[in-house]
Amino acid sequence: MLHSFFIALQFLTRIPVNFSVHYSNKHLGQSPLFYPVIGLLIGLILYLLSSFLPEQHNALNAALILCVWVLITGGLHLDGLADCSDAWAGGLNNKTRTLQIMKDPAAGPIAVIILVLLLLLKWTSLQIILQQPNHFIPLLIAPILGRTSILLLMLSAPYVSEKGLASALFTDFPKKTAQLISIALIILCIIFSSLSVILPSLLLIMLIRYLAMQRIQGVTGDVYGASVELIETSILISWVLFYG
């Protein structure tokens, strides 16, 4: 299981790991089970950073935390959101066209607009959250539930890109274990926040799945990345609206 954890860590973050990993199908298939753990690790890093920042510079603190948040993942999920934004705008309701645009590394104006708006929403929400004494809760829940959304999409939608990076994960993906982990994490997130904070994100995951199934009859790695970013942002906004 340690190999599976480090595979997940290397895949989802840019944290340097001095560990030789054997990429067997079994280890790859089990690695998504550790995605929420990677989310917890990211959340802990963000919380520790917030603890060392001076309170009087709230806007700057939020910007620094957001920068670290992006740098930890190397912009992996933002890239997925950008690809999906361009694909949905230019795909013209055509599956083949949509998948072709997703594979294009260039970012169009729609992708840039969506990324700017999303980062603006995160930055603004973080400014408000950092003023609260219990700000560590959303900083932990957002990255955890964001990566749990990948598990939920893996469990509920087929993967349509045969040559994609995530295709090998489905060979030995333990669905029953993933179901139990997902349910347990959702319940824990509700306990430590509230149903009002978590419910919008759950509905958003359902919407992402619906739009992906409608357009490309499944999901891709880019859809997973977009889901992480959108769910993280949804959690931050919901926390501010409910507790702000």
Residue 74 structural domain:
2-243
Of 12-26, 93-107, 139-153, 191-205, where does mean pLDDT reach its minimum? 12-26
Of 76-80, 111-115, 161-165, 186-190, where does mean pLDDT reach its minimum? 161-165
Among 140, 115, 138, which residue's Cα sits nearest to residue 225?
115
- Alpha carbons 88 and 80: distance in angstroms, whole number: 12
Answer for the pair 66, 40: CB distance below 8 angstroms, yes or no.
no
Q: Residue 174: which residues within 8 A CB-CB, separation 6 or more?
A: 29, 30, 33
Q: Give 21's pLDDT tier (boundaries 50, 70, 90).
A: low
Structure tokens at 115: 């990324």
**Total domain count, the chain:** 1
pLDDT of residue 17: 78
pLDDT of residue 43: 97
**What percentage of the chain exceeds 90 in pLDDT?**
78
Ordered alpha helix ranges (H), the chain = 2-12, 25-30, 35-52, 58-73, 76-90, 95-103, 109-129, 136-156, 175-192, 195-216, 221-243
**Within 10 A of 57 (CB to CB), how many other CB atoms are there?**
11
The sign one gets for the Cα dihedral 8, 12, 17, 22 is positive
84 has a pLDDT exceeding 80? yes
- Alpha carbons 186 and 199: distance in angstroms, whole number: 10
pLDDT of residue 172: 83
Model confidence pTM above 0.85: yes
- Alpha carbons 34 and 57: distance in angstroms, whole number: 35
- Alpha carbons 190 and 93: distance in angstroms, whole number: 36
Average pLDDT over residues 234-241: 97
- In one letter, which amino acid is 130? L
Average pLDDT over residues 59-66: 97
- In one letter, which amino acid is 159? Y
Q: Which helix (H) or strand (E) holds 32?
A: none
Chain centroid offset of residue 133 CA: 25
Answer for the pair 215, 95: CB distance below 8 angstroms, yes or no.
yes
- Alpha carbons 47 and 35: distance in angstroms, whole number: 18
